[in-house]
Chain A
Amino acid sequence: MITLSNIVKEYEGKQESGRAVDGLNLEIRKGEFVALLGPSGCGKTTTLMMLAGLLKPTSGEIHFNGKLVNHTEPKDRNIGMVFQSYALYPHLTVRDNIAFPLRERKMPKREAYERAKETSRILQIDHLLDRKPSQLSGGQQQRVAMARALSKDPEILLLDEPMSNLDARLKLDVRDEIRKIQRKLGVTTIIVTHDQEEALAISDRVAILNGGRIQQYAPPHELFNHPVNLFVASFLGSPPMNLILGQLKESGGRQTVLTEGFEYELPAERRLEKEHMGKTVRFGIRPHDISICSADQPGSLRMKVDLVEHLGSGKLVKAMDPEGRLDTMIRLLTGNEVQVEAGDDIYVTFKADKFHLFDTENGGLNLTQHV
């Protein structure tokens, strides 16, 4: 088990507020696959480097299996790491690259080569053992990097954007394969990525970072369905969640969100605490939770279609409110069978059990209850 508690990493003199990581807490169970996800500069790579021991935290503690490792050298941490650039040793053959960590442990050459061969078989690169890295394709180099990281049977596997140099199709294959190998070997794995699809697809739990702090740490579906704050909600999902500005109101036993002229009534089972009334909020709803309906449906909103994008599996409709009641245009997803075109007038409703309300203050906290 890996525990990060109150980790702070300051870079000296670079910026005024040079905190790359600012009070980070994280717990990773044995055998778990965890992704660190966030926009660039959020501190995810810094965190990984601290796990590897290549950077030392300014304050806070890192424990591996209950043992404090803050001052343990990278070589003594028993970690395998795959770098974004793969960082293969160009002067060594694939065999020697994979055997390198073993040879560093004073394993006899013959045994190390035997192990290298076994590992290369798992990654299906055993036919490339005699080549030099420069003679390999990007995908093959990536496999060699994986094999090198795994050959020493590490306790923790760290992956730093391992797939960002692969083309889109290969990425999918490699992703599945990494996941399969991880399951098979049961090695605790931490991946750093800025690709949310990759993070959600591959990992047991995802930690979303922003500004050097963890915003939310949860399994993928929970992140998607129950974002704790505005950042997580707007960061995850493509196309992104619609976030409409409004104000919470209560009158006559009804709770509503009021925009500039449109009132949305909160269903009875999703009522908020009284203390929230009067707050300015963002009404968040994902594009697939908005549906097109008939004009006479209660609570429906008339919109004008601005643009229709064909996504193949469906259509993405961008619609404006001609009366200016909403502060933003909205995106919604429909099936291919729905006939809409730019310029059409449509009526939309929001799924009552799917919306979120985010405070515009307090770090964009999600006010709605998790069901």
Chain B
Amino acid sequence: MSTRTLKQLLVHTYLTLFTLPIIAMIVWYFLAATLNFTTGQFSFENFSFFREPVEYAGVELPLIWPIVLNTLVYSFLIVFLEVFISVPTAYAFSRLDFKGKNAAMKFLFLMRSFPGITLIIATFFILVQMHLVNTYLGVLLVAVTGSLPGRVYIMKGFFDEVPWDIEWAAMVDGCTRYGAFKKVLVPFVLPGIGAISVFSFLGAYGEWFLFKLLIFNDDMLTLAGYLARLVTKEDQILNYGLITAIGLFYTLPIIVFYIFTQKVFMKVNLGGAKQV
């Protein structure tokens, strides 16, 4: 055996050993959802949540399908709001001169790295004052405000990459400033818009904390919040099988989503503007 193959063998053994626990976890995950551990047989009894409301050990949750609808509506609304606000804001930060731009930019950066959870008590009180607790509007407001600085920051990076020549060309070719933004700059930063859309969607899809904090009606939950409610009042998880089953149902769309979007966003097509 040459030293090279020996080396490779060592490396591969090492890597395999360290990957095994992760693989084991995933395998366990699937097994826990589909295997009845007492009888040792495959069963789909954990998936009965598709048909009837969940009820066990004092936890009562509504049927999952309205929750799925909530999740989709909430997630896409978040994506829409964040894109709609962050793209023009980022354009302004990247391209326009206005008073206090630098200060605002610094503040933005500070907010991006600020742990939002420390503000949650004040946030709650403000929402109470505004009568927005237990409403979607309240959750949307808090969620969008929290993630906007990061989205704006990423989008600004994309706008910074657009050569001025392109914008000028559009203006010479008959566009107003806004026209140039809409017809030339937005298509140019489309990969960036795609990226922040994915981030916002994933963020919204995984949002459980705000729902736990601000929503008291179980039928208003989204999937992540629904999963969080499965933990009983005493913070003990009783039915592992059910949790993993719902967890699996919750994860599947994300995996599919990843497989597709990854391909789309790798196909970034730019050219025709050699930057000086």
Contacts and interface: CB of A to CB of B under 8 A. Distances in A.
Contacts of A77: 172
Interface string A80-99: 11011111111110000100
B273 A86 contact: yes
A370 interface: no
A134 B187 contact: no
A90 B191 CA distance: 13
Nearest to A105: B174
Contact of B272 (A74, A81, A100, A136): A136
A134 B184 contact: no
A134 B267 CA distance: 13
A77 B173 CA distance: 10
Q: How large is the interface on B (under 10, 10 to 19, 20 to 34, 35 or more residues)?
A: 20 to 34
B173 A73 contact: no
Contact of B173 (A54, A132, A148, A165): A148
B220 to A, nearest CB: 40
Nearest to A54: B168
Interface string B127-169: 0000000000000000000000000000000000001011011
B168 A88 contact: no
Interface string A118-145: 0000000000000011111010010010
Most buried by A among B163, B168, B174: B174
A104 interface: yes
Contact of A86 (B190, B269, B270, B274): B274
Nearest to B186: A91
Contacts of A101: 173-174
A90 B172 contact: no
Contacts of B168: 49, 52, 54, 74, 81, 83, 87
B143 to A, nearest CB: 31
Nearest to B270: A90
Nearest to B180: A75
Contact of A85 (B170, B184, B275): B275
A51 B190 CA distance: 32
A92 B186 CA distance: 13
Nearest to B169: A87
A353 B168 CA distance: 49
A136 B272 CA distance: 8
Nearest to A52: B172
Contacts of A84: 165, 276
Interface string A35-59: 0000000000000010011100000
Nearest to A101: B173
A364 B175 CA distance: 45
Nearest to B171: A74
B172 A81 contact: yes
Nearest to A104: B174
B205 interface: no
A79 interface: yes
A105 B172 CA distance: 12
Contact of B274 (A73, A85, A104): A85
Nearest to B165: A87
A92 B174 CA distance: 16
A77 to B, nearest CB: 8
A141 B175 contact: no
Contacts of B275: 85
Nearest to B97: A12
B188 interface: yes
A83 B163 CA distance: 11
A77 B165 CA distance: 18
A134 B173 contact: no
Nearest to B167: A87
B161 to A, nearest CB: 12
Nearest to B271: A134
Given A83-B165, A84-B165, A89 B172 contact: no
Contacts of B179: 104
B31 to A, nearest CB: 48
Contacts of B269: 90-91, 132, 134
Interface of A: 49, 52-54, 73-75, 77, 79-81, 83-92, 97, 100-101, 104-105, 132-136, 138, 141, 144, 148, 152, 158, 165
5 contacts: A85-B163, A87-B163, A89-B184, A91-B187, A134-B271
